A and B are shown apart, each in its own frame.
Chain A
Amino acid sequence: MKYVVSFGRFWWDFVVGDDWRAAVGVVLAIGATAALAAGGVAVWWTMPLAVALVLYMTLRRATAP
């Protein structure tokens, strides 16, 4: 059990890292992009916009006094 937890923790740290909210933001953005694309909307702009927002929020949190 200990090894399973360590293995899971390693992959969590590896992919998600310090701010899990950023990972959630990425997942939500991809979901929204897929939904818009399914509705026939041109979606090339959605992920760049989402990245700008996610980066802004995660940096703001990291530098908060």
Chain B
Amino acid sequence: MTAGVFLVLSAFLASAVEMVEALTIVLASGIARGWRSSLIGMGAAVLALAVIVAALGPALTVIPLNALRLVVGGLLLTFGLQWLRKAILRASGFKALHDEDAIFAKELEEARTAERLERGGVDWYGFTLSFKGVLLEGLEVAFIVITFGSTQGSIPLAAVGAAAALVLVAGVGVAVRAPLARVPENTLKFAVGVMLTTFGIFWSTEGAGGSWPGSDAALFGVLAFVIALSAVFVAALRRRKRERFVTADVRA
């Protein structure tokens, strides 16, 4: 039950973050190059992602669970630490915050100035921009849905989290027809980094032959540990940033 709730929540949060980014690209492509090419590109990417999930999902279920947890736990931990590292650097001021409005403006400008090349009535630039954006952002969603789902023994449960995010982001995107800059994306990315790292620690330990005191309930303990660790690093780096600022000020 505990792991199931974590699974749906993690898949939902991770998918929502990636979908907000994909939406920005599709919007820029649609506004600058026409909606037909942009939506065809998005549809083709969604189809490609569905094929990847349909092919890889069942294949992973035949691998012994401990081996799967070891590999998936290691991959999620490596992947999750990247997210967490960037989130901590953003929160402490060492890295610029993710700005969906700025990204949208840049994509829009590039799409407006690109040369027009039509194939079968479809603008190739608009199609490719939309296809690549949705495919690349969607691959992260597919990776999370497949790895979380197969390791926890329920790809459909992970897919429910991702589908809920798709409905929410697409619904709001269609309603406002603007990049979702008000979504607290940096906070969401932090939460996803924490979730990925938590699952990575939990599964890689089980896959390596260890067991957790309290079984699945230990996920709460691991989660609390990762949150506390992140908070300590953010506080320490903020202090370091302030000290550097003061030192530079004194030298000037």
Contacts and interface: CB of A to CB of B under 8 A. Distances in A.
A22 B78 contact: yes
A8 interface: no
A29 B201 CA distance: 10
Given A34-B208, A37-B209, A48-B201, A65 B244 contact: yes
Classify the interface of chain A: helix, strand, loop or mixed. helix
B225 interface: yes
Interface residues of B, number: 38
A26 B240 CA distance: 26
B81 A22 contact: yes
Given A33-B210, A44-B210, A65-B244, A56 B233 contact: yes
A63 B237 contact: yes
Nearest to A58: B85
A65 B70 CA distance: 36
Given A18-B82, A55-B85, A59-B89, A44 B75 contact: no
B209 A38 contact: yes
B197 interface: yes
Of B94, B204, B211, B229, chain A has the most CB atoms within 10 Å of the CB of B204
B73 to A, nearest CB: 7
B79 interface: yes
Interface in B181-202: 197, 200-201
A46 B89 contact: no
B148 to A, nearest CB: 15
B226 A30 contact: no
Nearest to A19: B85
A15 B210 CA distance: 24
A27 B204 CA distance: 10
Contact of B201 (A14, A42, A51): A51
Interface string A44-60: 10111001101110110
A33 B205 contact: yes
B41 interface: no
A18 to B, nearest CB: 7
A54 B88 CA distance: 14
Given A22-B81, A23-B78, A44-B218, A30 B229 contact: no
Contact of B85 (A22, A42, A46, A52): A22
A62 interface: yes
A58 B78 CA distance: 12
A62 B205 contact: no
Given A14-B79, A48-B201, 12 more contacts: A14-B140, A22-B78, A22-B85, A23-B78, A26-B204, A44-B205, A46-B210, A51-B229, A55-B84, A55-B229, A59-B233, A59-B237
17 contacts: A15-B75, A18-B82, A22-B78, A26-B78, A26-B204, A37-B208, A38-B209, A43-B209, A43-B210, A44-B210, A51-B77, A51-B226, A55-B84, A56-B233, A63-B237, A63-B240, A65-B244
